[in-house]
Structure 1
Amino acid sequence: MTPSEAFVETLAANGVTDMFGIMGSAFMDPMDIFAPAGIRLIPVVHEQGAGHMADGYARVSGRHGVVIGQNGPGISNCVTAIAAAYWAHTPVVIITPETGTMSMGLGGFQEANQLPMFEEFTKYQGHVTHPARMAEYTGRCFDRAMSEMGPTQLNIPRDYFYGEIKAEIPKPNRLDRGAGGEQSLNDAAELLAQAKFPVIISGGGVVMGEAIEECKALAERLGAPVVNSYLHNDSFPASHPLWCGPLGYQGSKAAMKLIAQ
């Protein structure tokens, strides 16, 4: 198959049905087979919006959020959104097509050093070093985003989409997240039973553990107010009578006072 086909087949194997971004010449070849593979590219006005949309999509769906753009200034527009996803522990995969290998260092079209841009805000950076490794790196970026709960970057020289390779599409590798050991749970229960003024901080752990209903049940059992950790208003319903708002900059005064007490 072509490297583009290996790339798209790996996206499909990871359940990708929607991507966000602006079409560019750097990924024109795989773009032609997105639709036949059941993948919809949702166009935006600005790439930063695409990154935020991928972040929100991942939070709501529990699946990967995927963003793609034109090399250079296209993907550099996503830095702020990827930073937000990093601090929210969201499994976003940003796909960054790059200047062709034969023009790197020569001022190739929209050439930029794309890995350092995202180094601070990604859990893993996969740089495709050979067309034959397209599926391998693509699969690894999707696996690492989910296992480490944070953004990963897949950097692909634009000429590596073309040619013919032999490829095996890797199966997604997902880790089970446990609820904690028996001793840890017993210790936690004892602490809570003796607590005089418990307050629950509901955040990324609740979302990752798909434990919002359990968090509600615990809050009701304890009669404990619940506040959201920074950037995780999605971790407890605002309609619940025990909800007291988010912590952090421009957060809830009630939440801040509860934590202070």
Structure 2
Amino acid sequence: MEVFHAHFTEYAYPMHVHDAWTLLIVDDGAVRYDLDRHEHGTPLGTVTLLPPHVPHNGSPATPDGFRKRVVYLDTSRLGSDLIGRAVDTPGLRDPVLRLRVGQLHGALAHPGDELEAESRLSLVGERLCEHLRRTATAEHRPDPVLARSLRELLDARVVDGVSLEEAARLLHAHPAHLVRAFSGAYGIAPHQYLMSRRVGRARRLLLDGLAPGEAASAAGFYDQAHLTRHFKKLVGVTPGRYRRSSR
């Protein structure tokens, strides 16, 4: 629903509630807060999940304040039946989850990377549910047929793209299972595969003489900056330099 990054040194939140789930990581400092009349904190490396409709506050727990990143999730991601469990254990010590939440923030910062953001959000939501339902991570069996079906869909939609939600609906699979099946079969995440196909298309267009801005649009990128970021990551040079060197 919303992303919020902030650095507070003295400000203290009064008691308040949210309509959404609050998924919080603290990068510097620490926060102390009361949730349902119980005091909690944010030890380094933890992930904090505050449930909707439950009063809480928040204030710096260190002299230099705190720097935080927050994602607000609606109840379609986490059901209201999990609120009680979240009240009992809002602090989650899970390095993998924290890493994935950080990666989600990174993906959300870049327009055009919606498939990556959807994929990362799906895996984050799955792991949060596992914590709240006290279930162990199930063994994920290979599903090459599903993986191939997703690859064919991505190949057919290189320029137009496809959301994870639409792909899951078309292929009758849970989004998180779709991501795991593809990554397990090909050793690359769906969003990485799509971007590599787009970069390949952009390379051919640049060799044909198109300017980087034109190639970006024709290859399915959000804008030229979006193309440049992924092109340089995969090719090692900017699109403009690649185009000039090919003459």
**Could you state the TM-score of these two structures normalised by the residue count of structure 1?**
0.27
Return the structure number with greater strand share. Answer: 2
